[in-house]
Amino acid sequence: MQTSSPPPHEPSAGQRVLAAIRSAAAILRRRLLLVMVVSIVTQGLYVWVVLPVLLVLFQSALTAAGVDGLSLAGLPGLLGSPLALLALVLLALVATAFALVEVSIFSVVAHLCLRGDAPGVAAILRGVWRLLRRAGNWQLILVAVYALLVLPLSHLGVGASLTSHIAIPTFISGELVKTPLGAWAYGIVVVGLLYLALRLAATAAALAGDERTVLAAMRRSVALTRRTQVHIAGVFVTVGVAAATVYLLAALLGAIPVAIASGSDAGDGVAGSVLALLDLVRFVTTGFAAAFLAFFFVSLDRGVSLDRSLSGDGGVAAEERASRPVRDAPSRVVAVTALVLFGILAVPPVVFATIASGDAASEPLIIAHRGYTAAGVENTIASLQGAAEAGADMVEMDIQETADQGYVVIHDVSLQRLAGDGRSVYDLTEAQASQVTVRQGEFEDRIPTLAEYLRTADDLGIRVLVEVKPHGHEIPGFASRVVAVMNDLDPDRRHMIQSLDAGIVDEIAAADPEREVALVTGFQIGDAPRTDAGTVAIEDWSYSDEMLVDLHDQGRRLFVWTVDDAGVLGEYLDRGVDGIITDRVAEAVTARDLDQRITNPVSRYLDAASRTIRPW
């Protein structure tokens, strides 16, 4: 009697992940040079082709709409111009297509290797073209959401170059976490993004292989990660730690030549050159990390043989043929050209002029955001006093007009968040509003009037950055009234005025040209905003070095808000911005003072290197 054979053993989730890791390591080990060349070529395309095209399209949209940047103020003009909309649509298509290529190209390479095909230029280009054709329909929207939003916002894995600065703006996250409900909502969003990115992590691998649509590839990714989420999360963490370790070791080794040259005039130049080399280390480690993750997910998608993986060959089908050097002439030409260009263009400068400027202009003002909330409720006298004691140069605060055209110091129009009171500022007189009790954390205080706030600041010897916040219920002549009351309370014009409302800023600047005025911009991508103000306060997310240079060329200043991350704060100290608005006043003052005291090239090098330890 014939007996049926037992069903094959179904590998566990851990075994499948282990097999994919072994397979990815085998491909990476055999294709190190290929990974380097692909990384260089992809980055070169981004810097010399894609980025210039995106900038031309973006500037064309701004020109067609007659605005200076992509901001809330300029949005109606952009949406109302057909030519601007066309340019923005083309920009989105180019950005999405390149992002798809950049996050998928190593997946194309992995599929070629696992099929036993030599990954030459022609084979890779055919794979990329098939990838773009599959996404060349309405499902490109899904690619855009994943590659341009979910992946960069979750920080899970290695995204595209053009999304490296995409993040949830701190002025949004910072406001949300100030209330329990907002903190919970923010936490849910962050966890949701991480979970979504984890479940979609194999999308590029699935799309680069079989003839799948984008939607089918996403479904495949969800299926692959159904019982492997914890294991895959561990892979991401391990790869991240490994890349960070490599970068840290390189940074420590770099301290040796800096130390040798520290006793000479070339100390700063050597330190700058080593820091430039660290950028190359970051580039290389990021490329290897991206390649390994792509190889891992492709191996997981293809279900590499567990037995072959555990036997030590990585489960790579026909690997002997695939691991041989690529013999076709075009591939050799591309490889040699890429390596030569990399060697020429990546040579660090002999003199590093931007480690940290030692002149007075590079020492930014430390501006306390709504006072110092570690010492009292925001926008109260106690937080003002705390900011002065912590060493702030200025205190930023918010004023609103009351029902009787008085002015009180408070950020929100509603009193609900700080006072548990459903009324709004415009419902109350100055006397009524100034008697309202506000609470924040362990502190309790009352809402101060503008007059007593400025009087206290003068007694403390600290300047104030008065942010004018219109609530929409003011009677005509609001800007003129602000000018009049400020001139009455501050005839020496010691304190500054700022606002998010460009019209109010220009009115105040015109009415009182002797007063320092700043335009606050929460979202501005492109050129610096056109304004009559002598200072622009830009939100951290929208900052660019080009904007800083542009404003300084115009004789204007640039403040950045709200900067609470220690690493980011250190970067701004080196960049030469004119003011840093922060909630962490004491830490910012200490960091600035320490930065100014560090004169030894080795110490300056280690301080700069420690702030850039994040490999991606």
**Beta-ladder partners of 367:** 394, 581
Domain end point (choices 343, 370, 401): 343
The C-alpha atoms of residue 309 and residue 170 are separated, in whole angstroms, by 45
The dihedral built from the CA positions of residue 36, 37, 40 and 41, taken in this order, carries a sign that is: negative
Same domain, yes or no: 177 and 65: yes
DSSP 545: H
The C-alpha atoms of residue 97 and residue 54 are separated, in whole angstroms, by 12
Mean pLDDT to the nearest integer, 162-184: 75
Query: For residue 412, what are the contacts with CB-CB under 8 A and spacing of at least 6?
Result: 418
Residue with tokens 């709504």: 370
Give the pLDDT confidence of 104-137 residue by residue, as tens digits: 999 999 998 888 777 888 889 999 999 999 888 8
Same domain, yes or no: 62 and 87: yes
Same domain, yes or no: 402 and 456: yes
Domain around 178: 13-343
DSSP 579: E
**Beta-ladder partners of 449:** 408
Listed in order, strand segments (DSSP E) in 472-572 are: 496-499, 517-521, 525-526, 535-539, 557-561
Query: How many percent of the chain have pLDDT more than 70?
Result: 84
Same domain, yes or no: 324 and 366: no
Helix, strand or coil for residue 415? Answer: coil
Same domain, yes or no: 339 and 364: no
pLDDT at 411 over 90: yes
Q: 350 in a domain, yes or no?
A: no
Smallest CA-to-CA distance from 610 within 324, 247, 341 is with 247
The C-alpha atoms of residue 316 and residue 20 are separated, in whole angstroms, by 10
Same domain, yes or no: 292 and 390: no
Please tell me the predicted confidence (pLDDT) of residue 611. Answer: 65
Q: 74 in a domain, yes or no?
A: yes
Considering the entire predicted model, what is its pTM? Answer: 0.71
Same domain, yes or no: 507 and 403: yes
Domain end point (choices 285, 318, 343): 343
Please tell me the predicted confidence (pLDDT) of residue 596. Answer: 63
Same domain, yes or no: 71 and 131: yes
Q: Answer whether 81's CB lies under 8 Å from 3's CB.
A: no
Q: 427 in a domain, yes or no?
A: yes
The C-alpha atoms of residue 610 and residue 248 are separated, in whole angstroms, by 8
Q: 6 in a domain, yes or no?
A: no
The total number of structural domains in the chain stands at: 2
Q: 353 in a domain, yes or no?
A: no
Q: Which residue has the higher pLDDT, 351 or 315?
A: 315
The 10 Å Cβ neighbour count of residue 550 is: 15
Mean pLDDT to the nearest integer, 461-468: 97
Domain end point (choices 310, 343, 376): 343
Q: 7 in a domain, yes or no?
A: no
Q: 118 in a domain, yes or no?
A: yes
Give the pLDDT confidence of 529-573 residue by residue, as tens digits: 889 999 999 988 788 888 888 899 899 999 999 898 877 887 788
Same domain, yes or no: 258 and 366: no
Q: 177 in a domain, yes or no?
A: yes
Same domain, yes or no: 122 and 210: yes
pLDDT at 386 over 90: yes
Same domain, yes or no: 59 and 189: yes
**Beta-ladder partners of 538:** 521, 560
The C-alpha atoms of residue 535 and residue 505 are separated, in whole angstroms, by 11
Same domain, yes or no: 383 and 326: no
